[in-house]
Chain A
Amino acid sequence: MSDPVGTPVVAVALDGVGWHPGAWRRSPEEARRSATAAYWRDLVLPLDDAGVDVVTWEDPFGIPGDGYGEPAARADRLRVAPEPVLLASALAPSTRRVALVPSVVTTHTEPFHVATAVATLDHASLGRAGVRLRADATRTRARLLGRRDLPPLETATRDAPLSLAARDEVFADAGEVAEVLGRLWDSWEDDAEIRDATTGRFVDRDRLHHIDFVGDHLAVKGPSIVPRSPQGRPPVLVLAHDPRAFALAAAAADVVLVTPDAPYPGDDAAGSVARVRAAEAAAGRAEPPLRVLGEVDVVLGATREEATRRLAELDALAHPGGGAWRSDAVVVVGTPVDLLARADTWRAAGLDGLRLRPAEHAVDLPLLLEHVLPHLVDAGRPVLTLRERLGLERPRSRYAAPTREDAS
């Protein structure tokens, strides 16, 4: 396909002290400090300097689990899950170029609060905000709020009927949330603040709009309380394994995170892109095509043997009774050259970039910074909004009166 974004988009996904559940065992001090500003600044500032395009934060919402299913409380797992929109906000003043993308669980949050918080992050970062939306069907997390009744997620068979119904519900809810976010971000036209001293009017209320959203799951009146932000609508990211997530991405996102090979054996990178395009067609997408990033966990080493040994050690720490890391992404266990080769293959197959998930922040981030990122990103790149970096135009508000060009 065409190359909408020029050079590949490189996101680094931060999570706790690394994506491997054994990572904290090697970095206990970092784990202890993993809710402090200093810990996150030390991680993000070098990535900003290196020219990385995006940093993302996961949101386990409750205590982190080991993957799919109900998260189990274990004493041997990291139990620190700060609220990611606030983490991203705290990084906005000290970073310059990197886009800041927190994850938000749509199922258990108020779309009004999410819309205003992400718009505020966009104001504070001068156009570097995005948000990754995640639906969550676990009962454990629903019980933290007690507002929504969900059955326990059955993990033995992914298509157990109760879990299917719960997943249908939370994804339908997420679709409505995404629609509400877009409408709220458009509810103030760009030039709504007029400060007209002669008539005493601070805003032109004809340029503020009730969104009047009424869905099956929620209703929101609007308008937002936050004036339109630098990007107009901060980009929305969705990670897709489940067909429902592909449909959500096609209907409501700007960027989709896919895992070639992992969810659908036989799908290579090209197959994943084809799956995205099919979802777009099915959704009748009118927006620019989704930017497609490949998800890759990285366990690096100077040699393949060293990387393999590192993974084996992390696995032994996390699963003392035997067992291996169950990741939902492609896991590259190898040298920086191996990773770069994988990036090239994906690029050739039509992916727009990748999201790197370091297994162990303390080890894999320095290796990425020294040996991988210099080949993938431009350390001298200019300051851009996230939309600009993704090659997406700044949208006009859907409520703005049509211009003459629109009519012609």
Chain B
Amino acid sequence: MSAGAERPAERRPPGRRQVRLGAHFPGVNATSVWSDPASGSHIDFSSFVHMARTAERSRFDFFFLAEGLRLREKKGRIHDLDVVGRPDTLAVLAALSAVTEHLGLVGTLTTTYNEPYEVARQLATLDHLSGGRAGWNAVTSPDAFTGANFRRGGFLDRADRYDRAAEFVTVVRSLWRSWGVDDLVADTDGARFVRDVEVGAFSHRGRHFDVEGHFPLPRSPQVEPVVLQAGDSDAGRAFGATHADGIFTLARGLDEARAFSADLKGRAAAAGRDPDHLLILPAATFALGDTTEEAERHAAEVRRAQVSGATALQFLERFYNRDLSGYDPDGPLPDVEPLPEPEDPLLVQGQVVPTVDVVAQVREWRELAAAKGLSLRDLVVEVSARQTFVGTAAEIAEQIDHRVQTGAADGFILVPHLSPGGLDELAERVVPLLQERGSVPASYTGRTLRENLGLPAEPPVRSHPVRSHP
């Protein structure tokens, strides 16, 4: 029997939680392996089509694009060791809407270098064009480094990033809701396109925005495109729990993941929301094999390919806060001590700064390298991101499902290491097993992304600073 294409969605055992699946297009991150002969373009539209179609065939809920608005730099020069360059998020998603039918299209857009009116119009347009499949991962980059590419420069204090984000999302949602259900009448006899002249009117004055006018798009199929949030700080969690439909977060160990999920759902409940309507969606990498051993071997090979000698040195530079380019990656760890602050403020820009005690961290790594006889590069391969899921198709299906059934996540945004084919095997071999278990529906049953994700089709109106019209 083929993998349950006819299996009705109701077959899921009672009480079983649904596994939500996102497909993260590989690109500008340390996961992507570009040196593999199977690695294709990260720019050609055909690569996006390939992965989106793979995801749709296997009933992923959505396709996902990250965003980075300035190329990473080291000492004023472009970082050249990983994939560099990516197309514009919204343009890719709009084009993908024409080659897919059911797949959600979720893009990362910053609340810092955009304006609410623009984002509201763009996402409402995408929602209309895709018939209700638009989603937005709202991020908050406040760095002046990125700001140098925009009109206002690095205008925002880091402390204000989520304050602006909260006001931003609130204004965006109020624009999406500025047309009522019956506002578009298109009544030719009565000569009214809209019910009355004030349809779509908005007016908002807050700390960050002072805007008014008429929103020029009718209610879109989802009314409110799905909003995700990414940013794990306390302020980020508070923002996400109040304003988002889902949280895109880092992969964690099982216990830590459960605690994270419980924290976010607790915050949502405290804000008066149904915790089931806040989806916890960690990023997850994977290595699949025909046997457990083969998967382990494959996982180790991929990690080695992800960490070239030069990449290993740059990884450690963020902890040593020193330029390590003179060291031999195949030799021992540098014998110099880490500095508390970067010796050169331009050492690495556009990358996440570690929040750990760097001196203690380096001491721990030295001990590990000595105990296991690891070179500098071996050490980085050992300690930098291990794949989230490693195993056979059955083992990975079990790992994914176990995490969801035990409340550690509501699903995963899967990040393959190859473009464009990196998702193919997992989609073809693992997803059917999840469908057999009743954890992933056999087909798309909802009309919109919101419905496919089990989110309320008509989201409740949240805080409303904007003049709503009768």
Contacts and interface: CB of A to CB of B under 8 A. Distances in A.
The SS class assigned to the B binding surface is: loop
A93 to B, nearest CB: 5
A5 B98 CA distance: 32
Nearest to B211: A146
A144 B129 contact: no
B98 A37 contact: yes
A141 B148 CA distance: 25
Interface in A226-250: 226-227
B462 interface: no
Contacts of A278: none
A76 B196 CA distance: 9
Contact of A85 (B80, B91, B153, B191): B91
Interface string B19-36: 000000000000000110
Contacts of A79: 184, 193-194, 199-200, 214, 216, 218
A60 interface: yes
A222 B126 CA distance: 27
A121 B91 contact: yes
Interface in B62-88: 68-71, 77-78, 80-88
Nearest to B171: A146
Contacts of A121: 91, 95
A220 B85 contact: no
Interface stretch (B261-269, B308-316, B319-327, B384-392): B308-316
A62 interface: yes
Given A89-B91, A202-B34, A144 B213 contact: yes
B86 A225 contact: yes
Contact of A124 (B45, B117, B129, B186): B45
Contacts of B45: 92-93, 123-124
A140 B78 CA distance: 41
A34 to B, nearest CB: 9
B211 A82 contact: no
Interface string A56-90: 00001011100000000111111111110111011
B193 A73 contact: no
B115 A147 contact: yes
> Is the interface on chain B under 10, 10 to 19, 20 to 34, or 35 or more residues?
35 or more
A344 to B, nearest CB: 37
Contacts of B191: 25, 76, 317, 320
B403 interface: no
Interface string B87-111: 1101110110111000000000000
Contacts of A26: 188
B151 interface: yes
A91 B70 CA distance: 28
User: In this complex, which of B95, B153, B220 has the most chain A Cβ atoms within 10 angstroms of its Cβ?
Assistant: B95
Given A75-B197, A121-B91, A197-B35, A62 B213 contact: yes
Contacts of B311: 200
A383 to B, nearest CB: 15
A253 B155 CA distance: 31
A193 interface: yes
Interface string A211-223: 0000000111111
A294 B184 CA distance: 35
Interface in A111-160: 111-113, 116-117, 119-121, 123-124, 140-141, 143-147
Contacts of B366: none
A342 interface: no
Interface in B152-210: 152-153, 184, 186-188, 191-201, 209-210
A375 interface: no
A81 B194 CA distance: 14
Contact of A37 (B97, B121, B212): B97
B49 interface: yes
Given A75-B196, A92-B45, A110-B151, A143 B213 contact: yes
Given A82-B125, A89-B94, A227 B99 contact: no
Given A36-B128, A123-B44, A145-B118, A89 B95 contact: yes
A219 B91 CA distance: 24
A203 B98 contact: no
Contacts of B114: 110, 113
A202 B84 contact: yes
B85 A225 contact: yes
Contacts of B122: 83, 86
Given A146-B212, A200-B309, A200-B310, 12 more contacts: A35-B217, A37-B98, A76-B192, A80-B217, A87-B94, A93-B98, A109-B118, A121-B95, A145-B211, A201-B81, A225-B69, A226-B85
28 contacts: A25-B188, A32-B184, A35-B218, A73-B198, A75-B199, A79-B214, A82-B125, A82-B129, A85-B91, A91-B98, A92-B95, A93-B99, A108-B115, A112-B149, A113-B113, A113-B114, A119-B88, A120-B88, A123-B44, A146-B115, A146-B210, A193-B85, A200-B311, A202-B83, A203-B84, A205-B80, A225-B86, A226-B85
State the 5 A-B residue pairs at the shortest beta-carbon distance, nearest first.
A81-B216, A35-B128, A89-B94, A221-B148, A120-B91
